[in-house]
């Protein structure tokens, strides 16, 4: 993580399942948004992803890698919340 930036992750749920994760990176000094990403989920699976440059191709290696990592992260997050 960069000390010059502030990172925010917002989670949106419907019926106990995450449907959207919004990731926002802001430059602290200017309060300007440096990066913004939205990840949409259905049944805990990543189905669409928009980054600062637009829609990420779901067949790309980048999409597949993040889908796998996010699904593992969500599984851990949900397990922790049940304890």
The better pLDDT of the pair 65, 78 is held by: 65
Q: Is the pLDDT of residue 83 over 60?
A: no
Model confidence pLDDT, tens digit, residues 31-50: 999 999 999 999 888 999 99
Token duo for residue 68: 């796998």
pTM value? 0.77
**Rounded mean pLDDT of 7-29?**
90
List, for residues 46-58, the tens digit of each pLDDT value. 999 999 889 999 9
Cα separation of 45 and 37, whole Å?
16
Higher-confidence residue: 75 or 42?
Answer: 42
The Cα–Cα gap between 61 and 58 comes to: 8
């Amino acid at each position: 993580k960069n000390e010059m930036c502030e990172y925010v992750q917002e989670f949106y749920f419907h019926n106990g399942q995450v449907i959207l994760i919004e990731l926002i990176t802001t430059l602290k000094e200017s309060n300007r948004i440096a990066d913004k990403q939205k990840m949409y989920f259905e049944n805990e699976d990543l189905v669409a992803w928009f980054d600062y440059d637009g829609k990420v191709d779901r067949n790309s290696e980048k999409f597949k890698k993040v889908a796998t990592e996010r699904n593992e992260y969500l599984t851990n997050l949900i397990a922790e919340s049940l304890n």
